[in-house]
Amino acid sequence: MATLTSATLQVYIYEGLEGSFSEPQYTLFKEKLSFQEDILFEVSELVRDFITHDFNNDYLSTVKWVSTVATLLDENGGELAGSPVTQSYLTKDGFGDFEDEINPQLSTDLLQSNDIIYLPDNTEGKIPVFAEGVGSVVIDGSTTTVADNGNSNQKIQYLTIPANGTSIIVKDKSNTTIRTLAVKRVCEPKYTPYKVTFVNKEGAYQDIWFFKRSDERLTVVDTKFKTNTINETDVTFPTNKPQEQRDNVNAKKGLVLNTGFLNESFNTVIEQLILSENVWVRYKGRTLPVTVKDRSLDYK
């Protein structure tokens, strides 16, 4: 009886409808070691290279289809019965915690961990949902149906919280309530609130507002070189020319933001913000990429 000894895996990463692939992005080959029963391929980092985040306050789905075609070979190089094996998956740029163990299953309905949302008065918000697991969202009694046509650009949808919205009910395809969210409105007459958007654990864009005091900080780096200021024509020493000249001057601007008091359930949101590799701040009418400088979090 023929036994599995090696396998070739073709990996297709694409947008659109499931199965609409042509050329593979990767072709991998692996032999089975003598003490192994299966052949394992780790493709997550390879797939992640094809998920890009070009956020400009537009909240678009970044989901990709991944299809794999595995050709199973025996010791003579012949294909085993049932080969090739084709499988398709939806992939998001999320992550799991250590406690989630290997290949954790990310959320298939509401794509955020917090049940409380803080928004400024008279300001709209967004909630990310996974269309395959959510049938409708009820905001202050008004129902929005979540439709999915199978296209990857429909899988993550961002529903608008109205400027006066206060309560949200998320339901599945059978109209059963999954999560109930509360929107807390914050009146901030003294400081200018800033909206920060980041890619959260579920691979979706999530907003968090910073309501309290903010400080801008400018950091400048440069190099310097010595110059010869002597005028060789008349052998004079002009005092208006510098002996030390600045060169390659660059500056970085930073923002120190404060949220104000939040429910302790927001610890998880702040944690995901610090861990996120993709973060933006809405600043003076522009969406600007930022790097989070904090490297620690004290849990209150």
153: left (phi over 0), alpha (psi -120 to 50) or beta: alpha
* Whole-number pLDDT of residue 173: 94
What is the pLDDT, as a whole number, of residue 172? Answer: 95
Q: What is the pLDDT of residues 185-206, one digit of tens each?
A: 999 999 999 999 999 999 999 9
* C-alpha torsion angle, residues 151, 153, 155, 157 (rounded to 10): -140
Residue pLDDT tens, the chain, 300 long = 678 899 999 999 999 999 999 899 999 999 998 888 889 999 999 999 999 999 999 999 999 999 999 999 988 889 999 899 999 999 999 998 888 888 888 899 999 999 999 999 999 999 999 999 999 999 999 999 999 999 999 999 999 999 999 999 999 999 999 999 999 999 999 999 999 999 999 999 999 999 999 999 999 999 998 888 888 788 788 888 888 888 899 998 899 999 989 998 899 999 999 999 999 999 999 999 999 998 888 876
β partners of residue 43: none
Q: What is the pLDDT of residue 21?
A: 92
**CB of 72 within 8 A of CB of 79?**
yes
Q: pLDDT tens digits, residue range 209-255? A: 999 999 999 999 999 988 888 887 887 888 888 888 888 999 988 99
pLDDT value of position 1: 65
Q: What is the pLDDT of residue 234?
A: 82
